[in-house]
Amino acid sequence: MKDLKALFVSHFGDSAGAVHYAAPGRINLIGEHTDYNGGFVFPGAVTQGINALIRPNGGTTMRLYAADLDTYCQQEIDNEVGPEHNEFRYVYGVAREMMAHGVDVKGFDAVFSGDVPLGAGMSSSAALESCFAFALNDLFADNRLDKMTLARIGQATEHKYVGVKCGIMDQFASIHGKKGHLMRLDCRSGEYEYFPWKPNGYRLVLVNSCVKHELVGSPYNDRRNSCERVAAAIGSKKHGVETLRDCTWDDLEQIKAAISPEDYRRARYVLGEVDRVLAVCDALNRGDYEAVGQQMYATHEGLSKDYEVSCDEIDFLVDTARQCGVTGARIMGGGFGGCTINLVDDNRYEPFVNTVQNEYKKRFAIDCKIIDVAIGDGARRIE
């Protein structure tokens, strides 16, 4: 914060009246590729995130300095085009969406910086959107918008101003995060519930494979289309089916002969993942972190074999975790690279980290990165 304050003074003359806001990145413990199927996700906010100093400037211009990129932007808020660079389009889009919701956003000055590891799938963009949505709501709204509306403003920013058709999970987690708790979000209804996360004797560790495979075509859309075809096939025989969330195992078996083996496997993964998220909820209520870990491994098996969104590097990291006695491990995110999320016994942490770094380098001739994470609070004003 000393650095941000000094940068604010250097760009805007002084820091009097500047307010400190923060919003986190996120992890997702379990519940992958379930959002567009109306299922559950199970994210938590992390302690890494975006910090910003923000102050109304009395005009109609937003003046922004991105400290990590050493870039500056000055933009009229009512300009229909907006800035060119994404780091500023996120802020501009949030301001415009807040205005569309009736918030009288005026000009402001801001300096921001983040420590969310890039390329790790921890949603640094959602942290940036959530930080400014929370701040502008706090600074300019006469009747403050509720948290879910702020999350949807961040999602709309991605859709309209950046061109990423994301779900709601990332912004939801960044806005609603609560220290010591994970959240089960029902992507169909928008209902959510907090679950205690107090893994005494365990820690969460991400291992970044530092690879991202570019696949021909659209593998994400292919899988989504598979799920929609199965839901449609079941819906033709059963009233009220809109997504796979509305389907039972019996429903799937009854139409197995009418769909392709690939579509069947995709749907089998999704139904299993819905069950696994609910099983993790029960395990957390019991404080049974070994059971949580078993469900994580089962999720990875489904993502690798049925949904086919893993890759050699990620499978190697999960296999190595299992060999090291790690409690649970799986791929985190959309797939084809990125990170694994690992639930690690404290006593196995050092051996695991050393082994996975050495063996991964031997096998693929590249370094993986270890990212320790802790569950923290969501978007907030810091006095």
We report the CATH number of the domain holding residue 82 as 3.30.230.10
Determine the pLDDT at residue 218.
Answer: 80
Angle formed at CA 339 by CA 84 and CA 66, multiple of 5 degrees: 30
Going by C-alpha positions, the residue among 300, 299, 226 that lies closest to residue 266 is 226
Residue 293 lies in a domain: no
Average pLDDT over residues 11-34: 95
Determine the pLDDT at residue 215.
Answer: 63
* Domain enclosing residue 121, as ranges: 2-198
Quote the mean pLDDT of the chain.
94
Determine the pLDDT at residue 330.
Answer: 97
Going by C-alpha positions, the residue among 51, 137, 129 that lies closest to residue 90 is 129
What are the Cα distances from residue 238, in Å, to 55, 232, 249, 266? Answer: 55, 10, 13, 20
DSSP 375: B
Residue 91 lies in a domain: yes
Altogether, the residues listed in the chain come to a count of 383
**Catalytically active residues, by annotation:** 170
Among 161-165, 259-263, 323-327, 375-379, the minimum mean pLDDT is found in: 161-165
Determine the pLDDT at residue 77.
Answer: 94
Residue tagged 């799920």 (tokens): 227
Residue tagged 């101003």 (tokens): 161
Going by C-alpha positions, the residue among 334, 336, 328 that lies closest to residue 310 is 336
Look at residue 293 and give its three-state secondary structure: helix
Q: Is the pLDDT assigned to residue 185 strictly greater than 80? A: yes
Residue 93 lies in a domain: yes
Residue 150 lies in a domain: yes
Determine the pLDDT at residue 98.
Answer: 97
| 82-139 pLDDT tens trace | 998 888 999 999 999 999 999 999 999 999 999 988 777 888 999 999 999 999 999 9
Determine the pLDDT at residue 216.
Answer: 57
Residue 212 lies in a domain: no
- Cα end-to-end distance, the chain, whole Å: 12
Neighbours of 189 (CB within 10 A): 9
Among the residues of the chain, which ranges form H helices? 2-12, 86-100, 124-140, 147-157, 169-176, 219-235, 249-254, 261-286, 289-301, 312-323, 349-364
Determine the pLDDT at residue 217.
Answer: 64
**How buried is 95 (Cβ within 10 angstroms: 0-12 exposed, 13-18 middle, 19+ buried)?**
buried
Determine the pLDDT at residue 220.
Answer: 79
Look at residue 382 and give its three-state secondary structure: strand
Cα separation, 299 vs 30, whole angstroms: 7
Task: Taking the CA atoms of 144, 150, 153 and 157 in sequence, report the sign of the dihedral they define.
Answer: positive
Among 181-195, 215-229, 259-273, 304-318, the minimum mean pLDDT is found in: 215-229
Residue 338 lies in a domain: no
> Which amino acid is present at 119?
G
Residue 275 lies in a domain: no
| 214-265 pLDDT tens trace | 665 688 789 999 999 999 999 999 999 999 999 999 999 999 999 999 999 9
Number of domains observed in the structure of the chain: 1
Q: Rounded to two decimals, what is the model's pTM?
A: 0.90
Determine the pLDDT at residue 39.
Answer: 92
Cα separation, 85 vs 115, whole angstroms: 19
Cα separation, 36 vs 362, whole angstroms: 38
